[in-house]
Amino acid sequence: MATAAPAPKVNHIGLPILDYRGGKSTLCAGCGHNAISERIIDALYEMGVEPERVMKMSGIGCSSKSPAYFLSRSHSFNGVHGRMPAIATGAILANHTMTTIGVSGDGDTASIGMGQFVHLMRRNLPMIYIIEDNGVYGLTKGQFSATADLGSRLKTGVVNDLPAIDTCALAIQLGATFVGRSFSGDKKQLLSMLKAALAHKGTVMLDVISPCVTFNDHEGSTKSYKFMQENDEPINEIGFVASFDEIAVDYDSGEIFEVEMHDGSNLRLRKLHEKYDPTDKANAVRTLMEAHENNEILTGVFYINTTKPTFIDQLNLVNEPLGTLPESLTRPPKSALDTLMNALK
């Protein structure tokens, strides 16, 4: 008597994790970006997001290649250097019903792309913007980027003498509504953060320290695995309970900052720093600035605001995607033209 093969494990919309995978990575073995791709796959799988309902956006650089390595069943747009925000903005305006994940790098965001990055943050467009942050330009062989810390040293011995741009502090100041920092090596924290990000409505900006094993993983680097393992200072511990999850989590309510997300999920941030309130914008920025003074690398969810209207809300768009509205809704009738013409006679 034949025994049926055990059915593959599926998520709550009935898809196996295989349906979330992408092409084989061409990045270096051990690259932090690959770990981030894995966590993105896990998060989308666990959240039960339909792959066809996701848009993957990226700019140029090692990080920006990575959308090819997850979610093959999603449309993807690998644009031009530093300009992913504009393309993503246009795509979201055309179809605001999608889940949009943008992957950028520190060069792609904090140097060439700074002009577009800051304006994306201001608009609070519903998307997840991930910076795979390694402090160097990989594809051009290891020049410093603008997120490299002051005093950080290249393999060649060159020391960075300019201050780092803190993309999280910027994003908070400018209007992003979910801002956090994580480390590609911290599976649990990154996965929870990504799942919460998927439940959020508005701009999520995640700066994920992602060591470059080829150009920035040596002694003297502040973006190496070793440095992060030794200096990663979580500000809170992230627990995420999806709306469809019924698992009860034990926690001491006094220690927890609880956030109800748009889709009914719960984000539970256990306070590791004294009295850290992630809804206090000014305090969030001050905490980040103080961490720089103390040479600390803070991680965790720094800021969250679930009430601010998104850009789509402000535009008051129809529920359907603009891109596929029928002609009957987009071309005014002849009577409208006649009226306009008569007024010009």
Partner 1 sequence: MATGDPALGDVQGATNTRQRVTNDFSINVATVNGSGSQSANSVLLKSIFGMGVPVSGKNLFPSNIAGQPTWFLIRASKDGYVARKRDSEILVALNPETAQDDVQALPPGGVAIYEENLKLDQARGNVIFYPVPFDKLTAAICPEVKLRKLVKNMVYVGVVAQLLAIDMAVVESNLRRQFAKKQKVFDLNFGGVKTGFDYAQANLTKRDPFFIEKMNKTAGKIIIDGNAACGMGAVFAGVTVVAWYPITPSTSVIESTTDLLKKLRVTPEGNATFAVIQSEDELAAIGMVLGAGWAGARAMTSTSGPGMSLMAEFCGLGYYAEIPGVIINVQRTGPSTGMPTRTQQADLLSAAFLSHGDTRHPILLPGSVKECFELTQAAFDLAERMQTPVFLLTDLDLGMNNWMSEPFDYPAKPLDRGKVLTAEDLERLGGFVRYRDVDGDAIGWRTLPGTRHPKASYFTRGSGHTDTAQYTENPVEYQAVMDRLTRKFENMRKLVPAPVVVRNGSSKIGFLAFGSTDCALTECLDQIKQRYAKDVDYLRIRAFPFAQAIHDFVASHERIYVVEQNRDAQLASLLKLDLPAAQVTKLRSILHYNGMPVDAESITQQFALQEGL
Residues that bind partner 1 (CB under 8 A): 19, 50-53, 55, 57, 67-68, 72-80, 83, 85-95, 97-98, 115-116, 118-119, 315-319, 321-325, 327, 329-332, 334, 336-338, 340-341, 344-345
CB of 37 to partner 1, least distance (A): 14
Decide: 120 and 88 in contact? Cβ < 8 Å.
Answer: yes
Number of Cβ atoms within 10 Å of the Cβ of 41: 20
Nearer to partner 1 by C-beta: 80 or 256?
A: 80
CB of 266 to partner 1, least distance (A): 28
Strands 127-133, 136-137: parallel, antiparallel or unpaired by DSSP? unpaired
Question: 153 — phi, psi (to 5°)?
Answer: -120, 135
What is the full DSSP assignment across 1-57? -PPPPPPPPB-TTS-BGGGGB-SPP-SPTT-HHHHHHHHHHHHHHHHT--GGGEEEE
Nearer to partner 1 by C-beta: 126 or 300?
A: 126
Nearer to partner 1 by C-beta: 284 or 312?
A: 312
Nearer to partner 1 by C-beta: 158 or 337?
A: 337
Sheet harboring 236-241: ordered strands across? 236-241, 266-271, 256-260
CB of 71 to partner 1, least distance (A): 8
Decide: 66 and 25 in contact? Cβ < 8 Å.
Answer: yes
CA distances (Å), origin 141, targets 112, 151, 215: 17, 19, 7
One-letter identity of residue 153 = R
Nearer to partner 1 by C-beta: 113 or 300?
A: 113
CB of 107 to partner 1, least distance (A): 16
CB of 281 to partner 1, least distance (A): 22
Which tokens sit at 287?
């905490």
Nearer to partner 1 by C-beta: 8 or 264?
A: 8
CB of 325 to partner 1, least distance (A): 6
